[in-house]
């Protein structure tokens, strides 16, 4: 089988009137007689756009070819869009923040009950959560965590690039939730960039940051979203 990246469209049933594009990547070494690993990417087009730095399919190919990971099927999912507004003056709008930042099971249910069964139909995919991962950046990064948090029986690995674990639609609640619920078998990799973080600060907040940095209270490698949420 040749590496295949196929674009599809999805119209969900849980909340009608919402459209989204997604892509399914099937690696060359995928064999139907052996369950493949699974990675689900939020903001999917960002990860396959040749003009962007990720270019996930090529990187997955190299990892598989070097035997660093087993054959892995990937699903790259874009946020939902309301294509037909109820009022003529409304333009098509994205549901990215509502779907990704909200701390509830709504997006997870859409993903697991509707989209993935359609996207993975006919494929032999491992049901072991240790072989399944969610991926995302910024709001998609907290969404990747939320999926595994609500369904650790299906996803046991999370890769979050600069996940927005802040007070956007309740994201700041996760430290409390993690401390007060039973341990869940999730392997979590959180990546962040200093410049990405400070781009969200006002000039007064940046001045405050310089003060606490130069005073020795804070080192640059300690910078994190929860801290900035309280500056």
Domains assigned to the chain:
4-191 (3.40.50.1820), 194-231 (no CATH)
Which pLDDT score, from 0 to 100, does residue 156 have? Answer: 92
Q: Give residue-wise pLDDT tens across range 189-212.
A: 877 654 444 444 455 655 555 544
pTM of the model: 0.77
Q: Vertex 231, ends 79 and 148: CA angle to 5°?
A: 35
Report the SS3 class of residue 47: helix
CA distance 51 to 135: 19
Q: In Å, how far are 55, 68, 115, 123, 211 from 194, measured between CA atoms?
A: 22, 29, 34, 40, 17
CA distance 211 to 136: 32
Mean pLDDT estimate for the chain: 77
Q: Kindly state the helix (H) or strand (E) to which residue 37 belongs, with its residue range.
A: strand 37-42
Rounded to an integer, the average pLDDT of 73-77 is 93
CA distance 98 to 169: 8
Rounded to an integer, the average pLDDT of 42-69 is 86
Checking DSSP bridges between strand 72-77 and strand 18-26, what pairing results, if any?
A: antiparallel
Could you count the other beta carbons within 10 Å of the beta carbon of residue 75?
Answer: 20
Which pLDDT score, from 0 to 100, does residue 11 have? Answer: 66
| pLDDT for residue 130 is more than 70 | yes
């Amino acid at each position: 089988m040749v590496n295949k990246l196929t674009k599809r469209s999805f119209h969900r049933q849980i909340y009608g009137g919402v459209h989204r594009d997604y892509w399914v990547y099937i690696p060359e070494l995928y064999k139907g007689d052996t369950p493949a690993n699974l990675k689900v990417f939020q903001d999917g087009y960002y990860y396959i756009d040749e003009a962007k730095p990720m270019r996930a399919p090529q990187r997955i190919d190299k990892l598989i070819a070097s035997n660093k990971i087993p054959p892995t099927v990937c699903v790259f999912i874009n946020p939902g869009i309301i294509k037909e507004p109820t009022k003529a003056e409304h333009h098509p709008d994205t549901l990215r923040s509502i779907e990704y930042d909200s701390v509830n099971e709504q997006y997870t249910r859409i993903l697991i009950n509707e989209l993935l069964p359609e996207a993975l139909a006919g494929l032999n995919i491992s049901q072991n959560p240790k072989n399944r991962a969610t991926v995302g950046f910024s709001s998609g990064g907290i969404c990747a965590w939320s999926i595994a948090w609500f369904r650790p029986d299906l996803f046991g690995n999370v890769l979050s690039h600069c996940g927005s674990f802040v007070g956007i639609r309740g994201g700041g609640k996760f430290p409390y939730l993690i401390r007060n619920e039973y341990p869940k078998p999730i392997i979590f990799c959180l990546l962040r960039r200093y410049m990405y973080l400070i781009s969200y600060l006002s000039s007064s907040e940046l001045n405050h940051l310089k003060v606490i940095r130069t005073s020795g209270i804070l080192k640059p490698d300690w910078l994190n979203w929860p801290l900035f949420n309280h500056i």
